[in-house]
Structure 1
Amino acid sequence: MSITTTPTQVKPAQVVPGRADESHARRRLMPTQFSYYLLWIGAMVVIVGPLIPIAIASVWSTPLYEDGGSFTLDNYARLFADASWWRAVRNSLLFAIMTTAGAVVGGTTVAVLVTRTNLPFRRLIGALILIPVALPGLVLILGWSTFWAPFGYGSTWIEIHTPFSIPFDLYSLFGMALVCTSVTAPIVYFFIRGVLTSLDSSLEEAARSSGAKPIRALISVTVPLLRPALLNSAVLVFALALEVLGLGLILGSSAGIEVIGTYLYSNWVEKVPADQGLVSAGALTLLTVVTVLLLVRNKLAGDARRFTTIGGKPKSSMTLDLGKARWVWSAGLLVIFAFGLIAPVIAVLLSAFTTTLSPYINPMTVLTTDNFEQIFSNDLYVESIVNSLLIATVGAAVTTVVIAVLSLVAHRSDFRFRSSLQQGMLWPRAVPGIVTGMAFFWSFAILDPSGGLRATLWAMGLAFAVRNVALAYSAFYPALAAIGEDIERAARTSGATWWRASCGIVLRLARPAMAVSFVLLFVAMLNEYDPAVFLVTPDTPVMGLTMLQLSLTGVGGGVAAFGVIQMVLTFVVLGLGRLMFGVRTRV
């Protein structure tokens, strides 16, 4: 008997379009999510990770690069028992209070007058107050010291040719606060001006229609609405004033005034052997205080919605007529800027191009370029300029790309930890520069006890980059937020991966913002010096720290020439950025 079998026809499997798409999407999502985690881990390790060794060093009995050691609280005990520490804390608090008061009053006054009144020359005044934002900080400090010190050019000239004398001592806490006020007042101006330009003037008009005079309406209606911005900017200025280093070294040290920054500097750089455990404890204490202040600032910024006065497009702001007093206000502000900003810059220029800057000698008779020849004939000085340019160019380019990619993940992805990435990129703003330098010093010491890693420009550049991450992020994110997400969705619908849609479309549209970030980063990294205090080696001098060290040796003309070089490089880069990309200086 034969058995005949009929071949069974196998029907092709039916493919459900929806399930196939979901399976394909999951396969594409897995490597994308994995890349998110890699970027997040890398960012947290580089930004937050270096702070961990400081905490360990502050409770360890020996330097971390040495064998042995044990847990101890002796570093904190010695710190809090040191009378010099508490004297530095007291000086820093007084200095920060005076600086904050001056910056808030000055910045708010200029913002209100420029934005809300018919002040003559208000465009010029609005531009003058922003000069310190573009100038390297050390140049302005040097200018004040050259012109307004007790035996400075301006002080001596006034005493010789007038019956008056300068009513303040620059080498005092009050004098230091004046210099710091000129640097930080633009921060307050930015905050207040931004709020004033967005406020609806109908409330002021209502007060005017009820019989209130212009100034009364401004003070009783507008100023109370500025409270969140005032508190926000005041906390930020106070935190910045607590961590100053260069100002304390150049002006404070001459009068024996020690602040927290110079206390940490002297115990690390000038003390032999360096008391690294004590300095680590002090740095962590400073970091904690500044972090708490900036958390308070963030809370105040979050409460600003309670002061919203408009819901749609604001009406044009009302211009208050100051009457004849407007000329007095304008003249007063121009005189202040002439004495506080223009004169110090001119003093630096004169000091750089003369053999001797003295009111007894006509500067035109002692003109010279010897100071610049001294700079360019010294291998160390030339190397510091070249190193700074290399760090600024390469560091700014790499950091710009990294910030752009991290911003995409933080704001345009579904990554579960994207909010922590946003906070992580802003975190360096809360870390004082000297703490950043110390953090990377300990990190490199642990990774490479031989010191070879620290003695590279890559190490210095990494510290400078982390120090200025928040600046680049703040410049890039607004442009990213202005790009609609529909374009990405359309690309994804057409089959593009998230990375291809984000990098191929979004970053192309955000190239102008990336250019802005690059320029701002270049300028910031070119003039940076705080982290270099702990990282510099004979092979890695940088321009900012070299100029600071020259200032401490009292080499006047050479320091001024270095300052002019730094200033010219800064303005050239900012000018090119403004010309090519519309870059504007910002805080």
Structure 2
Amino acid sequence: MNPKRPGLTWSLILIVGFLTLCPVLMLLLGSFSQGLTAFGQFTTAKYVAAYTDPHLLQVFSNTVIFVVGSTVLATLLALVLAYLNTRTNIPFKPLFTVLSIVPMMIPHLLFSVSWALLLNPSNGLLNLSLQDLFGLESAPFNIYSLEGMILVEGLLNMPIAYLIIAPAMASFDGALEEASRVGGAGVWRTLWRVTLPVLRPAILAAFVLGVVRSLASYAVPRVLGMPGRVDVLATYLYEMISTGFAPDYGQAAALGMSVLSVSIALIVLYRALTASGDKFVTISGRGYRPAVIELKKARLPLFLAISVLSLLMVVLPVGVLLYTSLVPYSMVPSAQAFASMSLNHWFEVLRDPISLLALRNSLFLAVVGATLGVVLSLFIAYVVVKIRTRAAGLLETLSFLSFSFPGIVIGIGFMWFFVQTPLYATLTALLLAYIATYLPYGVRPLASAFVQVHAHLEESSQVCGAGPFTTFRRIIVPLLIPGIVSAWILMATMFVRELTVSVVLSRPGSEVLAVQILNFADDGLWGKLSALGIVMILISTGLVLLAAWAGQRFRGTRVVGS
């Protein structure tokens, strides 16, 4: 395992190229084919049919409004929260920092469902409470709308934007702001003329990544958009392949190619923005202390506003799922509601054979898939960081490519591939698709960990007579345990909650938790849905705790054994 042996690099290029380029190639070929059963009979009719559909213009308009609106909301919320947490004297800053990240652990599907339970116009708990409180004849809010979709998607994407903006905000040299204020500028003018321009790369990077995530979003449009007949590209594509007696996979592939092209272009732009961030560096070799802005009279109102935001993002989504899983039907919290609570929905779910099968399948995919994904990511990260060749650069590009894949679109690409093989409608198909789609989530933490391992350690091991793989196994891997655990946790939780690829590839016998929860939502079985959703959250939390415990135990064993 050294630069003089390129066999490892090219072997990984073949594996990763198969996982990432194969579905794209099949999607392209499928868009010029008559259908799944007539693959290879090339035609341009699918493109003509896809782009001349009169409904497409409305779908495109809805998509643009949804994507831009939710991304603007997420970026603004993240910017405000990052500024308050890093630059002001708002109270309980550590708590709000944690709360800004916790929503990432709540699956998008369950977050969307929780808002449907709260604000659907027929029996949403908040709507019912407001109607009783103010004597209203109709529900004041309707979450099944474009505005509701923007709100929920914006709240979901805010943590990602926060993780990009907050570090840049925290490392900002306060001397620049102080110089502006000395020159006579007030707080707001300094913020507008100094702080925001310097943070422009981070803000733009957060915005572009938010656009990519919103464009690929399926959970929010499916749960909140379809009941209100608000179609965006993700649900429009799904309807092409799931409704009617003869689903048109070729037309879906033709339209999917455009979505995929836009996503890839946006990811290239995102990487360019993050790579050029050094042009805006404001930290010098001298010490500095970020200025703390005194909020004065605004301190309490802003604290209350952030508290409400945290309530909306963390407490309400989980709380409404737990409450709904215990009551017989949608009821406003009251003495009668609490008296009627039971575990009936839980017993029904745990006795349901399809739900139990979905649970077993999801656990298998999470444990086995994350393990295989981390092993592959480990070798990829090693080559990318330690073997700096052009081939290693190609491998890095291929491994990052799937980050731009919208789940529905790439699921259609895998559909075109797997239907030609015995893997169609099996767990193995889902396993390969999961690893291909979420490979960057394993490579990134491990690449960061590899950067911190000095080459002298490998050289010393090899001087003592150890071979390349012995050095890798005995020296490098033990030092990377924190990164390995982080990558495994991230991939396992992603696999447990995965929806967009699963909804295309899952078939009877290969159901997973997210698909079963979605089926409950379609049938209006909110109690069963909530119970199974809490099970999903508990599994994700349990995987995190188990992996963290195993990582600490392994590190302790290594220290004692050395």
Q: TM (normalized to structure 1)?
A: 0.89
Q: 1:349 aligns with which of 322, 328, 346?
A: 322
1:537 aligns with 2:510: no
Partner of 1:508: 478
Would the aligned equivalents of 2:109 and 2:219 in 1 still touch at CA under 8 Å?
Answer: yes
Partner of 1:424: 398
- Relative to structure 1, the CA distance from residue 502 to residue 281 in structure 2 (aligned partners, 3 Å threshold; closer, same or farther) is same
Partner of 1:119: 90
Would the aligned equivalents of 2:488 and 2:547 in 1 still touch at CA under 8 Å?
Answer: no
Partner of 2:101: 130
Partner of 1:378: 352
Would the aligned equivalents of 2:358 and 2:510 in 1 still touch at CA under 8 Å?
Answer: yes
Q: What is the CA-CA distance between 1:576 and the residue it aligns to?
A: 4.0
**Structure 2 residue runs without a partner (length 5+):** 553-562
Q: 1-side partners of 2:268 and 2:488: how far apart?
A: 28
- Relative to structure 1, the CA distance from residue 512 to residue 336 in structure 2 (aligned partners, 3 Å threshold; closer, same or farther) is closer
Paired residue total:
549
1:194 aligns with 2:167: yes
1:330 aligns with 2:303: yes
1:259 aligns with 2:232: yes
Partner of 1:83: 54
User: What are the superposed Cα offsets for residues 307-330 of structure 1, whole Å, 9 maximum, x if unpaired?
Assistant: 111233652211110102111101
SS in 1 for 2:33: coil
Q: 1:153 aligns with which of 105, 125, 134?
A: 125
Partner of 1:393: 367
Q: 2:407 aligns with which of 433, 436, 459?
A: 433
In the TM superposition, 1:25-36 aligns within 5 A as 32-36=5-9
1:548 aligns with 2:541: no
Q: What is the CA-CA distance between 1:355 and the residue it aligns to?
A: 0.8
In the TM superposition, 1:32-111 aligns within 5 A as 32-63=5-36, 65-66=37-38, 69-111=40-82
Would the aligned equivalents of 1:408 and 1:502 in 2 still touch at CA under 8 Å?
Answer: no
Structure 1 stretch 459-468 or stretch 312-321: which is displaced more?
312-321
1:489 aligns with 2:459: yes
Structure 1 stretch 83-92 or stretch 50-59: which is displaced more?
83-92
Q: 1-side partners of 2:455 and 2:314: how far apart?
A: 45
User: What are the superposed Cα offsets for residues 289-337 of structure 1, whole Å, 9 maximum, x if unpaired?
Assistant: 1111111222222222221112336522111101021111011121233
Q: 2-side partners of 1:44 and 1:525: how far apart?
A: 21
Q: 1-side partners of 2:258 and 2:102: how far apart?
A: 33
Would the aligned equivalents of 1:136 and 1:570 in 2 still touch at CA under 8 Å?
Answer: no
1:221 aligns with 2:194: yes
Q: 2-side partners of 1:422 and 1:503: how far apart?
A: 22
1:39 maps to amino acid: L
Q: What is the CA-CA distance between 1:500 and the residue it aligns to?
A: 3.5
Would the aligned equivalents of 1:400 and 1:514 in 2 still touch at CA under 8 Å?
Answer: yes
- Relative to structure 1, the CA distance from residue 337 to residue 44 in structure 2 (aligned partners, 3 Å threshold; closer, same or farther) is same
Partner of 1:442: 416
Q: TM (normalized to structure 2)?
A: 0.93
Q: 2-side partners of 1:171 and 1:529: how far apart?
A: 20
- Relative to structure 1, the CA distance from residue 322 to residue 29 in structure 2 (aligned partners, 3 Å threshold; closer, same or farther) is closer
Q: 1-side partners of 2:339 and 2:381: how far apart?
A: 56
- Relative to structure 1, the CA distance from residue 314 to residue 530 in structure 2 (aligned partners, 3 Å threshold; closer, same or farther) is farther
Q: What is the CA-CA distance between 1:94 and the residue it aligns to?
A: 0.6
Partner of 1:466: 436
Q: 1-side partners of 2:287 and 2:411: how far apart?
A: 45
Q: 2-side partners of 1:209 and 1:526: how far apart?
A: 53
Q: What is the CA-CA distance between 1:149 and the residue it aligns to?
A: 1.9
Would the aligned equivalents of 1:199 and 1:314 in 2 still touch at CA under 8 Å?
Answer: no
Report the identity percentage: 25
- Relative to structure 1, the CA distance from residue 231 to residue 168 in structure 2 (aligned partners, 3 Å threshold; closer, same or farther) is farther
Q: What is the CA-CA distance between 1:29 and the residue it aligns to?
A: 7.7
SS in 1 for 2:419: helix
In the TM superposition, 1:223-372 aligns within 5 A as 223-312=196-285, 315-359=288-332, 361-362=334-335, 363-372=337-346
- Relative to structure 1, the CA distance from residue 251 to residue 309 in structure 2 (aligned partners, 3 Å threshold; closer, same or farther) is same
Would the aligned equivalents of 1:36 and 1:415 in 2 still touch at CA under 8 Å?
Answer: no
**Structure 1 residue runs without a partner (length 5+):** 1-24, 583-587
Q: 1-side partners of 2:448 and 2:541: how far apart?
A: 24
Partner of 1:3: none
Q: What is the CA-CA distance between 1:159 and the residue it aligns to?
A: 2.4
Structure 1 stretch 226-235 or stretch 213-222: which is displaced more?
213-222
Q: RMSD over aligned Cα, in angstroms?
A: 2.1
Q: What is the CA-CA distance between 1:215 and the residue it aligns to?
A: 4.3
1:185 maps to amino acid: M
Q: 1-side partners of 2:116 and 2:495: how far apart?
A: 24
Would the aligned equivalents of 2:127 and 2:140 in 1 still touch at CA under 8 Å?
Answer: no
Q: 1-side partners of 2:424 and 2:87: how far apart?
A: 52
User: What are the superposed Cα offsets for residues 122-145 of structure 1, whole Å, 9 maximum, x if unpaired?
Assistant: 222222222320111111111101
1:263 maps to amino acid: Y
1:403 aligns with 2:377: yes
